[in-house]
Amino acid sequence: MTVHQQKMQAFTGQDIESFKPEMKIGMLATVTEEGLPHLTLISTLQASGPTQLFWGQFSEGRSKINIRKNPKAGFLIMTLDKDVWRGKATFTHAERSGNEFDILNETPMFRYNAYFGIHTVYYMDLVEQSGRSPLPMSNVIQAAIKTMVAKTLAGKGGKDVLNVFTRKMLDKLDNLKFLSYVGTDGYPVIIPVIQAQSAGMDRVIFSSSVYREDLLDVPAGATAALFCMSFEMQTVLLRGVFKGIHNISGFDCGEIDVNWVYNPMPPKMEQVYPPLKLEKIKAF
């Protein structure tokens, strides 16, 4: 039996103020047309009131396509103080003007940017949220050490899915990593898995000793997405089959067999694995 945090249907005034700073982590989970989880970094994500969130678009990407076709979304916000909020929301509409449009374009990041600004604002109704919760750093560090020990004995075979850049991103202990899967209600869920590391060329493993209750809810055999980002704003998105939680080298670990890798970084967001077939240019 797992015990979860109480779910709330509104943000407090303090929550809303905490979401306003530009310097924070905002993660948005959407569902693809095939029903698979997708994760995107959305630093503009914040609340316009107790039951509504909004965020701005300045570049094209799959999350915007996904959410227009399937409005069910998951979100995570983490402040510089390492306080975390997680929850579910439903996309309602998008606008190209209005109060939130002006707020986002008046922030220094976009007001003084000569190349791009926010051109569309997306609005979501809150379904539920977890409330403020500090990231358990001591537990995360212990989980990372357990993962390091487990991976040394986990074997390194497999297909050549994870390239050198991706493995280095995953194995850097202070990079942020988040897992998402689609819950039984159709809403994607986001779980911090900062301890996650590569185990060979096509696997990711992570000790389940932190956020264990949430990880136990992920069904074995489900498709999971894993987003990794550095503080230099390098990012990579993986997807694969979650193999469940089992003993690896004496530690209970979650495991993902990776079968898809995506580069979410502008200016060229593109699938990395499986490699895309080169198409002949027939017109200029």
pLDDT at 1 over 50: no
Q: 264 and 140 share a domain?
A: yes
CATH number at residue 247: 2.30.110.10
Question: Do 128 and 33 sit in the same domain of this protein?
Answer: yes
Token pair, residue 135, equals 């990231």
- Rounded-to-integer distance, Cα 134 and Cα 119, Å: 33
Task: Let me know whether 199 and 260 are in one domain.
Answer: yes
Residue 57 shares a structural domain with residue 90: yes
| 215 located within any domain | yes
Q: How confident is the model at residue 107 (pLDDT cuts 50, 70, 90)?
A: confident
Give the three-state DSSP class for 14: helix
In angstroms, the CA 95 to CA 252 distance is 46
Same domain, 106 and 154: no
Report pLDDT digits (tens) over 159-206. 889 999 999 999 999 999 999 999 999 999 999 999 999 999 999 999
Q: Are residues 19 and 86 in the same domain?
A: yes
* Pairing between β-strand 176-182 and β-strand 83-95 as defined by DSSP bridges: unpaired
Cα separation, 166 vs 161, in Å, equals 9
278 assigned to some structural domain: no
Find the domain containing 55 and state its range: 13-133
Question: Over 90: is that where the pLDDT of 114 sits?
Answer: no
Same domain, 37 and 147: no
CA distance 219 to 260: 19
Condensed to tens digits (0 to 9), the pLDDT of residues 20-50 reads: 998 999 999 999 999 999 999 999 999 999 9
188 lies in the same domain as 243: yes
Please indicate, yes or no, whether residues 170 and 123 belong to a single structural domain of this protein: no
Number of domains in the chain: 2
Residue at 52 is within a domain: yes
pTM for the complete prediction? Answer: 0.93
